[in-house]
Amino acid sequence: MSDTPRIPPAEITGIKGALLSRLVKKALGQVPSSLGVYWHNQKVLMGMSGVGSKVRKWDACDEQLKSLAHMAVASMVGCTWCLDYNYFEAHNHNLDLDKAREVPRWRESDVFSPLERDVMEYAEAMTRTQPTVTDEMVAHLREQLGDAALVELTAVIAFANFTTRPNVALGIESDGFAAACGLAPLAKPTPRPGVASQS
C-alpha cells in the first residue's frame, strides 16, 4: 500500500471544520489524515464519529478486553491506523501497554491471560469471512463475562470491523500517534512457514 490515502484528503474548511480540527488536535496532538479523507462526505464523518462516541460510553465490559478485541480486529484486517490509534488510546487510559503492544502476535506471546486470549480469538472469528464463531466459544465467554458484557464485546468487535475496513479500503494508514508519545513499536508476528499473514 502507498503512504498516501487512495482519496487525497480534502482541505478542512469553514467554522465547523476549524472547530473540529481544534478539538481533534487537542485530543490527539495532531489532525489525522483520515479526517481530511472523510471530510469529503461530512455526513459519513459525523455519523461514524457519532457511533464511536456512543460506543465509548458503554460500560458493561472491561475496557482492557474491548481494547484488545479492537486491536485484534485491526491487526487481522491490516488497519495500521486503528492499531496505532488504539495503542495510543491504551496509553491514554492507563491500560496494560505490554499487552497492547503484543496484540499483533497474541497467539505467540505469553503476556495474555486465558480470558484475553479467548476474547481475541472471538474477535478474529467474528472478523473472518465467513465468521467462524462457534457455540462453544460463545458459551465459554458467557460463563466468564456474563450476557451483558458479551453483547457489548460483540458490538465493539462489530464496530471495529465498521471502522477498520473503510480505512484499509481508502488507504488510510497510521499517523504515528503511538510513536509521537514515545511508545515502543508494536510487536510484529513471527512469520510461520507455509502460513499466510492475516494482517
* Residue 59: C-alpha distances to residues 7, 47, 85 (Å): 35, 21, 20
Per-residue confidence at 38, pLDDT binned at 50, 70, 90?
A: very high
Mean pLDDT, all residues of the chain = 93
pLDDT at 168 over 90: yes
Kindly tell me if the per-residue pLDDT of 196 is higher than 60: no
Q: What is the pLDDT of residue 192?
A: 59
Flag whether the pTM goes above 0.75: yes
Residues 115/80/31/161 CA torsion (nearest 10 deg): -60
pLDDT of residue 193: 57
Evaluate if residue 13 carries a pLDDT over 50: yes
For the segment 118-161, what is each residue's pLDDT rounded down to a tens digit?
999 999 999 999 999 999 999 999 999 999 999 999 999 999 99
Q: What is the pLDDT of residues 75-117, one digit of tens each?
A: 999 999 999 999 999 999 999 999 999 999 999 999 999 999 9
Q: Residue 34 pLDDT > 70, yes or no?
A: yes
